[in-house]
Structures are given as structure tokens and as C-alpha cells.
């Protein structure tokens, strides 16, 4: 059985790929935007329900530092962009004016300076490849959650705190709450609860050391942080926000969990057990005949990509592109968590060259090989 993908839309990039990062579709159904970041600016264009750019509705946010020096996020209503930099989190409006800034410790690991500005380290060779945090807007756009390197100018939570997690008023930059993230990140990203602005997921990467996953709840007075057990990369939330889709740091395990980290209804799959070997990979007979059979066995290892998400409350899109590329075309899969169909390979009308990004409402996107076009896909249906 396979699932036939149907091309729903072709969305060109807003800037040439030679000058900018890849285009992204952000936001929930009904509030989607096409966004792209260059060294100089972020461009954001609202999309209609057919993924067509709304003419005359674009917004540009001048960037305070190059895109290699941090991460960024645009508010759901495109009224504000927030840049998570090496030394500060800065909110910028479309005029380029700074609405607010929260300074913090330097993300270059050996540096203990509290930089006043980007110019203080812009030309320093030792700051060219810093680690980084991230920011995320709440579902209603009123809060900014920020993962930063401590300390803040007001002082540390305690002497052992490396990374802090902040809740910030998006309007004025006031820090409403702070907590120890209990991590030492190389990078991170936020995933907001789709309906509850008081909840946020934070997926942290510590390089080879692990992947801590945090779930935050802000009740208006106190920030409570749950440290989910295991090294997990959070890839998506269901439309209700009740279910999480993480992949393990070693990429062997894919699961559906609740916000406390518990596996939901035994929805936990090992890649080797769930996915057949690539059709172009050597057979067992070929391996037996090969003097380097042990090395081939390692190369045949199937693993989940750190990509995908929920298409609806019970259906996931996932991929095994990274481990497939040794043998040919990367594979994408539909996962029916009700158990009706299980894992179903997706057939595309033309080759795809990257992992899928779930967009909700039954659709997902892939990036063209030239990284200048997004293709939006839906389903024709299942074929036996």
C-alpha cells in the first residue's frame, strides 16, 4: 500500500538563494506566512488558503546582525520580528526601530563578557561560530519565550546556571519570568502550543552530548518547567496541542507523547523494526558475499530524520532520507496512529530532495533541490 502525493501549490522564494536562507512557511492554518531571512533583513508575506502570496501585504524587518549570528522569529500578525543573537534578544518593528532589547551572557562558550552591542565582537575571530539560543512567539503573539545564555544584567538565578528560559512581554520587553533551562546548548528551537499561549516546547541540542527537551507553563505569575525524560528532539505538536512528536537523539526511536513526556497508547516505533530496508540496498545474499559485511550492515542502518510532524490529530508525516541517501531516493512515510494503515510510503509525481515539513490541515511542504521553491503537498489517497 502507498499514498499518492498531490501537488497543492508551488511557492517561489522571496529572495535569491545565493543571498538568503531557504524560504519557510510559518504559522497555523488561516494565518500562514512565507518568510525568508538574509543577512540584511527578514521578508514576510502572508499567504491565502491556497498558499498564494497576498499582494501588497508584505513586510520587511531590517536585521541587527548577520543571520549566522543567531536565530529569529516573526510574530503571528507580522507586526514584530525578534532576533536571538549572541549577546541579546532584540525586537524590531518594520521600520527597523528597536522596540526592546534584553541583554544576556555571550553565546561564545569561552567568553564571559556582557557585550553592549554587536559591534563589540563583530570582527573578533573567536566569535565567528558561536553557539545559539532561540525565541518563539506564543500562539496569540503576546509573549516571547527566549532561550538565552546567562547571566542577565540583573544577575544569575544561581552560580551554576548556564542557560536560562525567559518569558517576555512582546509589547514592551519586560521579563515576566525566568527559569534554569538545565542545559548547556549548542542550539535550540521553540514550538508553541497551537491553542494555549501559556504553554511552550523547547528542544535543545547539546551536540553529541544530548538533546534535552523542556515543556514550559506560564500561569501569569510563575514559570513551571518540565524536564522530559530522555534525549529527544521535538518535531511537532498535534492541532490540539495534546500530543508531541519527538525523535530520539540517536534517531532510532519515533514516538507520540503527552506534554509530560509519557508515550501515548504505546505509540513508539524503532526505525529498524518499522521501516523496510531501501529497495536499492544490497540484499542479505550480497552482504554475505561481501568481505566488508560488517561495514555494510552499519551503512544499512535505517534511522528517522529530525523532520516531519502532524498532518492532523492522528496522522504524522516522517522520513528516512538521511539513511536512504546511500542507496537512492529518500523515502517519506505517513504514520496512522490509530493503527488502521500503519506506516505507508508516499509516492510523489516527481522526485523530492529533502525532508518534509508538516503544515497541518493535511498538507506538508518540501524544498526544491535549488532551495528557491517550496512545494506544498496533499494526498490523493491510499493505493493497495
Looking at residue 300, what is its pLDDT? 65
Structural domains of the chain in order of their starting residue, each with its CATH number:
1-20+251-384 (no CATH), 63-245 (2.130.10.10)
Give the CA count within 13 Å in the CB-facing half-sphere of 103.
9
Location of C-alpha cell 563589540:
120
- The CA-to-CA distance between both ends of the chain, in Å, stands at 4
Looking at residue 271, what is its pLDDT? 95
Closest by CA position to 87, among listed 71, 66, 103, 108: 103
Could you write out the DSSP letters of every residue in 53-98? BPTT--EEEE-SS-GGG-EEEE-TTSS-EEEE-SSEEEEE-TTS-E
Query: What's the Cα-to-Cα distance from 180 to each of 64, 162, 217, 226, 239, rounded to whole Å?
Result: 27, 8, 14, 11, 28
Which regions of the chain are under pLDDT 50?
291, 293-298, 384
Looking at residue 295, what is its pLDDT? 47
Global pTM reads 0.93
Task: Yes or no: say if 267 and 274 are a contact pair by the CB < 8 Å rule.
Answer: no
Amino acid at each position: 500500500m502507498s499514498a499518492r502525493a498531490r501537488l497543492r501549490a508551488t511557492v517561489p522564494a522571496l529572495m535569491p538563494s545565493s543571498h538568503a536562507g531557504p524560504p519557510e512557511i510559518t504559522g497555523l492554518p488561516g494565518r500562514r506566512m512565507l518568510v525568508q531571512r538574509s543577512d540584511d533583513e527578514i521578508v514576510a508575506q502572508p499567504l491565502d488558503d491556497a498558499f498564494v502570496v497576498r499582494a501588497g501585504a508584505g513586510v520587511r524587518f531590517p536585521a541587527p546582525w548577520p543571520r549566522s549570528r543567531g536565530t529569529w522569529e516573526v510574530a503571528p500578525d507580522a507586526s514584530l520580528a525578534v532576533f536571538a543573537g549572541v549577546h541579546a534578544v532584540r525586537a524590531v518593528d518594520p521600520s527597523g526601530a528597536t522596540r526592546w532589547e534584553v541583554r544576556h551572557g555571550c553565546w561564545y562558550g569561552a567568553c564571559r563578557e556582557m557585550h553592549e552591542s554587536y559591534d563589540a565582537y563583530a570582527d573578533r575571530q573567536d566569535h565567528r561560530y558561536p553557539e545559539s539560543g532561540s525565541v518563539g512567539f506564543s500562539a496569540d503573539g503576546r509573549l516571547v519565550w527566549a532561550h538565552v545564555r546567562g547571566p542577565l544584567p540583573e544577575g544569575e538565578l544561581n552560580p551554576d546556571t548556564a542557560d536560562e528560559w525567559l518569558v517576555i512581554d512582546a509589547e514592551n520587553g519586560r521579563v515576566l519570568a525566568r527559569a534554569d533551562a538545565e542545559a548547556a546548548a549548542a542550539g535550540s528551537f521553540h514550538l508553541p502550543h497551537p491553542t494555549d499561549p501559556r504553554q511552550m516546547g523547547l528542544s535543545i541540542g547539546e551536540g553529541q552530548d544530548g538533546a534535552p527537551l523542556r515543556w514550559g507553563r506560564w500561569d501569569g505569575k510563575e514559570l513551571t518547567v518540565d524536564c522530559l525524560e530522555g534525549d529527544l528532539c521535538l518535531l511537532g505538536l498535534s492541532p490540539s496541542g495534546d500530543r508531541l512528536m519527538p525523535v530520539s537523539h540517536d534517531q532510532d526511536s519515533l514516538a507520540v507523547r503527552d506534554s509530560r513526556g509519557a508515550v501515548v497508547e504505546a505509540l513508539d516505533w524503532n526505525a529498524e523494526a518499522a521501516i523496510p530496508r531501501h529497495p536499492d540496498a544490497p540484499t542479505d545474499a550480497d552482504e554475505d558475499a561481501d568481505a566488508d559485511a560488517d561495514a555494510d550492515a552499519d551503512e544499512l542502518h535505517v534511522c528517522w530524520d529530525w523532520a516531519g510532524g502532524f498532518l492532523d490529530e492522528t496522522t504524522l508525516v516522517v522520513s528516512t532520507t538521511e539513511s536512504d541517501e546511500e542507496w537512492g531516493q529518500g523515502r517519506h512515510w505517513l504514520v496512522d496512529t490509530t493503527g488502521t494503515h500503519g506506516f505507508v510510503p508516499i509516492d510523489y509525481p516527481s522526485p523530492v530532495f529533502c525532508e518534509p515539513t508538516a503544515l497541518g490541515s493535511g498538507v506538508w511542504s518540501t524544498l526544491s533541490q535549488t532551495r528557491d521553491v517550496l512545494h506544498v503537498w496533499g494526498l490523493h489517497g491510499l493505493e493497495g
